A = this chain, B = another copy of it.
Amino acid sequence: MQIIEAAVAEFASKGYFASDVAAIAKKAGVAKGTIYNYFSSKEDLFMGVVRTGLGLLEERMRAIRSSRLSPVGKIERALKEYLSFVERNWTLYQVITKEAIHLFARVSEEYCTKVKSHVGVIETLINDGINSKAFRKVDARTSALVLLGMADAVTWEAVLSNRKPNVLKQHKAILEIYLRGIVKQ
Protein backbone atom coordinates (compact mmCIF):
# COMPACT_ATOMS: atom_id res chain seq x y z
CA MET A 1 0.00 0.00 0.00
CA GLN A 2 1.29 3.44 -0.85
CA ILE A 3 0.58 4.71 2.65
CA ILE A 4 3.07 2.33 4.21
CA GLU A 5 5.65 3.25 1.60
CA ALA A 6 5.23 6.92 2.32
CA ALA A 7 5.35 6.27 6.04
CA VAL A 8 8.54 4.27 5.67
CA ALA A 9 10.13 7.16 3.81
CA GLU A 10 8.96 9.76 6.29
CA PHE A 11 9.75 7.83 9.46
CA ALA A 12 13.08 6.77 8.05
CA SER A 13 14.19 10.26 7.20
CA LYS A 14 12.85 12.09 10.22
CA GLY A 15 12.23 9.55 12.92
CA TYR A 16 8.92 8.87 14.57
CA PHE A 17 8.37 12.07 16.51
CA ALA A 18 9.54 14.52 13.91
CA SER A 19 7.41 12.87 11.29
CA ASP A 20 4.21 14.55 10.27
CA VAL A 21 1.11 12.55 9.44
CA ALA A 22 0.08 15.27 7.03
CA ALA A 23 3.39 14.94 5.21
CA ILE A 24 2.98 11.18 4.99
CA ALA A 25 -0.49 11.63 3.56
CA LYS A 26 0.78 14.09 0.99
CA LYS A 27 3.63 11.81 0.04
CA ALA A 28 1.18 8.93 -0.31
CA GLY A 29 -1.12 11.06 -2.42
CA VAL A 30 -4.08 10.67 -0.09
CA ALA A 31 -5.87 12.89 2.38
CA LYS A 32 -4.98 12.91 6.04
CA GLY A 33 -8.24 11.29 6.97
CA THR A 34 -7.62 8.36 4.67
CA ILE A 35 -4.66 7.29 6.73
CA TYR A 36 -6.93 7.01 9.72
CA ASN A 37 -9.19 4.67 7.77
CA TYR A 38 -6.36 2.18 7.76
CA PHE A 39 -4.43 2.96 10.91
CA SER A 40 -5.97 3.98 14.17
CA SER A 41 -3.21 6.39 15.10
CA LYS A 42 0.25 7.62 14.20
CA GLU A 43 1.62 5.00 16.54
CA ASP A 44 -0.34 2.28 14.82
CA LEU A 45 1.00 3.46 11.49
CA PHE A 46 4.49 3.29 12.88
CA MET A 47 3.87 -0.23 14.02
CA GLY A 48 2.72 -0.99 10.50
CA VAL A 49 6.10 0.16 9.27
CA VAL A 50 7.91 -1.88 11.88
CA ARG A 51 5.83 -4.91 11.00
CA THR A 52 6.64 -4.53 7.33
CA GLY A 53 10.34 -4.04 7.89
CA LEU A 54 10.81 -6.86 10.35
CA GLY A 55 8.58 -9.06 8.24
CA LEU A 56 10.82 -8.61 5.22
CA LEU A 57 13.91 -9.38 7.23
CA GLU A 58 12.43 -12.38 8.96
CA GLU A 59 11.24 -13.85 5.71
CA ARG A 60 14.76 -13.77 4.32
CA MET A 61 16.21 -15.33 7.43
CA ARG A 62 13.68 -18.14 7.37
CA ALA A 63 14.45 -18.80 3.71
CA ILE A 64 18.09 -19.15 4.61
CA ARG A 65 17.39 -21.57 7.39
CA SER A 66 15.48 -23.91 5.12
CA SER A 67 18.15 -23.75 2.44
CA ARG A 68 20.74 -26.49 1.91
CA LEU A 69 23.72 -24.36 2.74
CA SER A 70 26.28 -25.41 5.32
CA PRO A 71 26.12 -23.73 8.72
CA VAL A 72 28.95 -21.44 7.78
CA GLY A 73 27.32 -20.82 4.44
CA LYS A 74 24.11 -19.94 6.16
CA ILE A 75 25.77 -17.43 8.42
CA GLU A 76 27.58 -15.96 5.44
CA ARG A 77 24.33 -15.72 3.58
CA ALA A 78 22.49 -14.33 6.58
CA LEU A 79 25.06 -11.62 7.09
CA LYS A 80 25.00 -10.83 3.39
CA GLU A 81 21.24 -10.62 3.29
CA TYR A 82 21.28 -8.62 6.44
CA LEU A 83 23.81 -6.11 5.23
CA SER A 84 22.17 -5.92 1.85
CA PHE A 85 18.83 -5.19 3.50
CA VAL A 86 20.39 -2.55 5.67
CA GLU A 87 22.11 -1.07 2.66
CA ARG A 88 18.87 -0.67 0.81
CA ASN A 89 16.83 0.35 3.83
CA TRP A 90 19.28 1.72 6.28
CA THR A 91 17.20 4.58 7.52
CA LEU A 92 14.18 2.32 7.86
CA TYR A 93 16.43 -0.05 9.71
CA GLN A 94 17.49 2.74 12.03
CA VAL A 95 13.89 3.57 12.78
CA ILE A 96 12.87 -0.01 13.34
CA THR A 97 15.74 -0.90 15.58
CA LYS A 98 16.45 2.29 17.44
CA GLU A 99 13.42 4.40 17.97
CA ALA A 100 10.86 1.81 18.90
CA ILE A 101 12.43 1.65 22.32
CA HIS A 102 10.83 4.89 23.40
CA LEU A 103 7.38 3.80 22.32
CA PHE A 104 7.76 0.52 24.04
CA ALA A 105 5.29 0.81 26.86
CA ARG A 106 2.54 1.99 24.58
CA VAL A 107 2.92 -0.43 21.70
CA SER A 108 2.79 -3.09 24.32
CA GLU A 109 4.15 -6.44 23.43
CA GLU A 110 3.95 -6.51 19.67
CA TYR A 111 7.24 -4.88 18.85
CA CYS A 112 9.07 -6.92 21.44
CA THR A 113 7.53 -10.17 20.25
CA LYS A 114 8.38 -9.35 16.68
CA VAL A 115 12.02 -8.61 17.44
CA LYS A 116 12.34 -11.65 19.64
CA SER A 117 11.03 -13.82 16.86
CA HIS A 118 13.45 -12.21 14.48
CA VAL A 119 16.42 -12.73 16.79
CA GLY A 120 15.16 -16.24 17.36
CA VAL A 121 15.60 -17.17 13.71
CA ILE A 122 19.22 -16.09 13.75
CA GLU A 123 19.72 -17.87 17.04
CA THR A 124 18.46 -21.00 15.36
CA LEU A 125 21.00 -20.71 12.57
CA ILE A 126 23.72 -20.55 15.17
CA ASN A 127 22.35 -23.42 17.19
CA ASP A 128 22.19 -25.50 14.05
CA GLY A 129 25.85 -24.74 13.52
CA ILE A 130 26.71 -25.69 17.07
CA ASN A 131 24.78 -28.94 16.86
CA SER A 132 26.50 -29.93 13.66
CA LYS A 133 29.84 -29.25 15.36
CA ALA A 134 30.62 -26.50 12.88
CA PHE A 135 30.57 -23.77 15.53
CA ARG A 136 32.01 -23.58 18.99
CA LYS A 137 29.68 -23.77 21.91
CA VAL A 138 29.01 -20.04 21.96
CA ASP A 139 26.08 -18.39 23.66
CA ALA A 140 23.66 -18.51 20.75
CA ARG A 141 21.42 -15.71 21.98
CA THR A 142 24.27 -13.28 22.54
CA SER A 143 25.89 -14.29 19.27
CA ALA A 144 22.68 -13.62 17.41
CA LEU A 145 22.40 -10.21 18.99
CA VAL A 146 26.02 -9.54 18.10
CA LEU A 147 25.17 -10.12 14.46
CA LEU A 148 22.51 -7.47 14.70
CA GLY A 149 24.97 -5.20 16.43
CA MET A 150 27.38 -5.61 13.57
CA ALA A 151 24.81 -4.67 11.01
CA ASP A 152 24.28 -1.69 13.17
CA ALA A 153 27.93 -0.76 12.90
CA VAL A 154 27.34 -0.39 9.21
CA THR A 155 24.71 2.25 9.75
CA TRP A 156 27.09 4.12 11.97
CA GLU A 157 29.51 4.28 9.14
CA ALA A 158 26.76 5.77 7.07
CA VAL A 159 26.06 8.37 9.70
CA LEU A 160 29.69 9.29 10.14
CA SER A 161 30.42 9.61 6.47
CA ASN A 162 26.99 11.04 5.77
CA ARG A 163 26.31 8.79 2.84
CA LYS A 164 24.73 5.47 2.07
CA PRO A 165 26.73 2.68 3.69
CA ASN A 166 28.98 0.78 1.33
CA VAL A 167 28.24 -2.72 2.43
CA LEU A 168 30.52 -4.63 0.13
CA LYS A 169 33.49 -2.85 1.61
CA GLN A 170 32.54 -3.99 5.06
CA HIS A 171 31.04 -7.35 4.41
CA LYS A 172 34.37 -9.18 4.26
CA ALA A 173 35.78 -7.53 7.35
CA ILE A 174 32.76 -8.21 9.48
CA LEU A 175 32.30 -11.75 8.23
CA GLU A 176 35.91 -12.55 8.95
CA ILE A 177 35.69 -11.34 12.52
CA TYR A 178 32.39 -13.00 13.13
CA LEU A 179 33.17 -16.36 11.58
CA ARG A 180 36.59 -16.62 13.21
CA GLY A 181 34.77 -15.77 16.39
CA ILE A 182 32.28 -18.59 16.28
CA VAL A 183 33.62 -21.28 13.96
CA LYS A 184 35.50 -24.19 15.54
CA GLN A 185 39.28 -23.88 15.53
Which positions in A face B, CB cutoff 8 Å? 14-18, 94, 97-99, 101-102, 104, 112, 115-116, 119, 138-139, 141-143, 145-146, 148-154, 156-157, 159-160, 162, 169-170, 173-174, 176-182
Contact = CB atoms under 8 A, between A and B. Distances in A.
A15 B170 CA distance: 30
Given A99-B99, A102-B18, A178-B177, A153 B146 contact: yes
A138 B179 CA distance: 13
A160 to B, nearest CB: 5
A173 B177 CA distance: 14
Contacts of A17: 15-18
Nearest to A102: B15
